[in-house]
Structure 1
């Protein structure tokens, strides 16, 4: 039995759902976090002491941290090709997974929270502006990297595309001014057409 805990409005849960859907793995998703609560319940804290989502359960095995979940799923089902076979390509996938977690998503966080989850009369424009500026730096890095490339690493879709595209989905749908990044837009449109993306990436909320 495979169970994923977490609400689909979480970018981190979206990554895990996308990975499961790409691999065609059966799973049950249990709503948790945000308005659904549960994450402070003793049984949940026993699984994840951070009280965050997502958490993956597989026949008694428990794993938290969304990119760790992506790596676990991809490495456990290598025939699907989500984890690169070449060691250097795998290292590059790791690089982009870490970059998404440490740079891109943190850069967008304040702009997301301020424009999507904060009432208009309580928003802090200076906070939004700082977040947009940091996000533009990341978007510029992505756009330059994706010039002439179909995917983040090598010639095929991998977990690096899942992680970065989930963050890009949030950035590209925020109601903020953005510099147009053609390569980033083309790549996002390409990976967004995948059936698993339609399940994993709902409108921002």
Structure 2
């Protein structure tokens, strides 16, 4: 059985676990990282020299980087529309997956760390406000795109929804002032109605 090494409250592990559940494959997840530790051992570092989670172990094959793992599982075990048949739609999935990491993830990370993992007295409120404003602009870009699409790529859920979908739960769950983005909210609510999303993404923020 495929092993996923990583703690359940990691947004990057959540990408992988949600994907596996949507695809319909069983994986064996191990608590590694964060409060569980274990990501700095020689054994773990031999698999993932970054010392981060998640790491996939599939027989003799080892893979790290969450988006790479999502793509691997989707291509190996998924079917259309989750892993689209057309080259163009797969490219669009990759576009949005990479856009999240390069563009939206940095500000979302600041918001999460400041609100969830930093004591109130130690927070950088100016930095937090700037990150919320920046993230809001990027979420508005997605909202505009979703005005003409049920999901990130077309009218069906695909692997392209995964990184943004995991982040959308945090965006809508943290106590911040959010702009009114009706298309984004509609899309997120459609994800929140899915059993796999509820099980693997909608977890307490810690």
TM range (shorter): over 0.9
1:4-25 deviations in Å (ceiling 9; x for gaps): 1111111111100001111121
1:158: Cα distance to partner?
Answer: 0.2
1:149 and 2:175 correspond? no
Counterpart mapping for 1:82-93 below 5 A: 82-93=82-93
Residues 125-161 of structure 1, C-alpha deviations (whole Å, 9 max, x = no match): 0110121111111111111010132111022110111
1: CA distance, partners of 2:90 / 2:150: 17
- 1-side partners of 2:102 and 2:10: how far apart? 16
Alpha-carbon offset, residue 80 of structure 1:
5.3
For structure 1, the residue ranges without an aligned partner over 5 or more in a row are none
Deviates more, 1:123-132 or 1:74-83: 74-83
Q: Does 1:195 align with 2:204?
A: no
Determine the structure 2 residue equivalent to 1:204: 205
* SS of residue paired to 1:160: helix
Structure 1 Cα separation of the partners of residues 72 and 25 of structure 2 = 13
What whole-Å deviation, never above 9, does each CA across 1:152-173 have from its counterpart, x for those lacking one?
1022110111221001111121
User: In the alignment, which residue of structure 1 is the partner of 2:55?
Assistant: 55
SS of the equivalent of 2:79 reads helix
Q: Secondary structure at the match of 1:79?
A: coil
Q: Distance in 1 between matches of 2:78 and 2:167?
A: 24
Q: Please, what TM-score do these two structures have when normalized by structure 1?
A: 0.96
Task: Give yes or no for contact 1:18–1:197 (8 Å, CA) kept in 2.
Answer: yes
**Are residue 125 (structure 1) and residue 125 (structure 2) matched?**
yes
Cα distance between partner residues in 2 of 1:120 and 1:130: 17
> Hey, what's the Cα distance between the residues in 2 that align with 1:138 and 1:173?
17
1:18 matched to 2:18: yes
Give distance in 2, aligned partners of 1:198 and 1:178: 22
Aligned positions, number = 205
Q: Give me the whole-angstrom Cα distance separating, in 2, the residues matched to 1:94 and 1:45.
A: 28
Contact 1:2 1:58 in 2 (8 A): yes
User: Which stretches of structure 1, 4 residues or longer, exceed 4 Å deviation after superposition?
Assistant: none
CA contact (8 A) 1:12 1:66 kept: yes
- Contact 1:4/1:55, CA 8 A, preserved across alignment: yes
Please list, as runs of the form range in 1=range in 2, the aligned pairs for 1:67-106 lying within 5 A after superposition: 67-79=67-79, 81-106=81-106
Aligned partners of 2:25 and 2:77 also within 8 Å: no
Q: Output the CA distance in 1 between the equivalents of 2:81 and 2:146.
A: 20
Is the CA contact 1:56–1:63 (under 8 Å) kept in the aligned structure 2? yes
Once residues 78 and 51 of structure 2 are traced to their aligned partners in structure 1, the CA distance between those partners, rounded to angstroms, is 30
Write out per-residue CA displacement over residues 54-86 of structure 1, whole angstroms, 9 at most, x where no aligned residue: 001111211100000010011112435311111
TM-score norm. by structure 2 comes to: 0.96
Q: 1:54·1:64 contact (CA, 8 Å) conserved in 2?
A: yes
